[in-house]
Amino acid sequence: MNRVGKTVLIFFGIALALTVLFLAAFFAARLMLVFDNDANASAIEKNFDEGLSQIEGDTDLRTNFLIMGKDEASGLYDVIMLVSYNATRSEIGVVQIPRDTYAEFTESSYKKLNGAVSALGGEREFCEFLSNAFSVNIDHYISLDLYSVGEIVDVLGGVEVEVPFDMNYEDATQGLSIHLKKGKNILDGEAARKFVRYRSGYLEGDLGRMDAQKLFLAALVKKLKSDVSVFEIGAILAAVSDNIKMNVPMANVIPLAKQIMNIPAENVKFVTLAGEGAVAKASGASYYVISRPSAIKILNEILGAKVTEENFDKDRVFLNERYDSFCDIYNSEAEYKIFDAKTLVQSGIEIAHK
C-alpha cells in the first residue's frame, strides 16, 4: 500500500551526516585562515595523517566512517552508509547499505540491519560487527537523529534538488500535503521535509529512495562548495549539535577541512550495496539480500578495501541458508551502478515510479 513514513527522514539522514563533516571542515578551515600559522598547520596535518588508515600494499592514506541515521519514533537506524575519504587521491566514496539488509546480528527473529545498533549495544559495537563481516577497517562513526532537516535547509537558503517525478500525497492524520513537481526545485525547509518524508511512489521501494538520496547528496555537495558564510556554518552546527554524536577526534577536523574543501564534485562517488529483495517464508518478512561477489567488488572499488572471497563475511551473517532464494541472490552477481556528484547534479537519475 502507498504510504509516507511518519517521521523517518531517510534522505536527509545521509545528507545531514555529510553536512556536519563538510561544515565543520569549512568552519575550521576558515578559522585557520585567520588564526593559524604554517608551523601549527604542519603539526596538525601530521597528527591527522598519522590517524589515517593504510592498507598493506597500498600507498593511499584514507579514513572510513560509518554514518547512521536514527528514526526517533521507531528507534531503528534507517540510514546506514560507509564513507571513505581518500586523502592521497582527494576522493570520497559512499556505499549505501539498505536498511532491510538481512544480517544475523542477534538470536531474535528480527534480522533487518536497521535494528542492529540497539541489539548489539551501541554504535561502537555495530562498527565492530560490520568491520568484521565486511573485513573493512572502520575508523570512526557518526550517529544522528533525523530531526533538523528544515532548519538546516533554511539556513543554507534552500537546496536545489532534481525531483525525480511528480510527488503528490495527502494524509490528514499526519498533517501531510505533499505536492512537488518533477524537475529542478529549490527546496526550502518545509518543502525539504515533504520531499524526505515521501515514500509512496518508488517502484523499487528502498532502492528507489536510495537513488533519491544520491540526488540529494549531490545537490548538497554542490551547495556546500558554493559560498557558505561562517555565520551560516555556525547556525547549522548549532542546529545539529544536540542531534549528533561521533567519535571523530576534533584535532582531525582542521586538516580534514583543508583537504575536503578542494575535492572536485566528480571525485565524490555513490553506490548502493548490490543485492535483491527476498521473502523469508516462515515469517513472511521482506529482506534485502546482498550479493556476495558484487559486494566484494564494491567495497574494494569504492572504499579501497582489500576484501577477498576468503575474508568477506566469513561467518555468513548476511545469509539465511534455509532459503534457496536467499542463497541464489547471495552467491550470484548483481548489477550496480556508480554515480558521481557532478553527473548527478547535471543529469539526475531515472528512478522508476508508480
Which residue in this structure is represented by grid cell 546480528?
Answer: 105
Question: For residue 273, what pLDDT is reported?
Answer: 95
Question: For residue 60, what pLDDT is reported?
Answer: 79
Residue type (1 letter), 4: V
Q: CA torsion angle for 78, 96, 20, 235 (degrees, to 10)?
A: -60
Question: For residue 29, what pLDDT is reported?
Answer: 44
Structural domains in the chain, sorted by start? 10-157+197-347 (3.40.630.190)
Question: For residue 322, what pLDDT is reported?
Answer: 94
At 14, give phi and psi (nearest 5°).
-65, -50
Per-residue pLDDT tens digits of the chain, which is 354 residues long: 333 332 233 333 344 445 555 544 444 444 444 334 444 444 334 444 545 555 555 677 888 889 887 766 677 887 898 989 888 888 889 898 998 999 999 988 899 999 999 999 999 999 999 999 999 999 888 887 655 666 777 877 888 988 888 988 887 775 678 898 998 899 887 887 777 767 677 666 667 666 766 777 667 667 766 666 656 666 666 666 666 677 766 556 555 655 666 678 788 888 999 999 999 988 899 999 999 999 999 999 999 999 999 999 999 999 999 999 999 999 999 999 998 877 877 777 777 777
DSSP 6-48: SS--HHHHHHHHHHHHHHHHHHHHHHHHHH--HHHHHHHHHHH
Question: For residue 111, what pLDDT is reported?
Answer: 95
Question: For residue 46, what pLDDT is reported?
Answer: 43
Question: For residue 6, what pLDDT is reported?
Answer: 29
245 burial type by CB count under 10 A (0-12 exposed, 13-18 middle, 19+ buried)? exposed
Q: How many CB atoms lie within 10 A of CB 64?
A: 24
Q: Which three cell numbers stand for residue 332?
A: 550470484
Question: For residue 53, what pLDDT is reported?
Answer: 58
> Residue 273 and residue 236: Cα distance in Å, rounded?
30
Going from the C-alpha of 257 to that of each of 41, 100, 174, 271, the distances in angstroms are 12, 33, 40, 24
Q: Which three cell numbers stand for residue 91?
A: 576522493
Predicted model pTM: 0.74
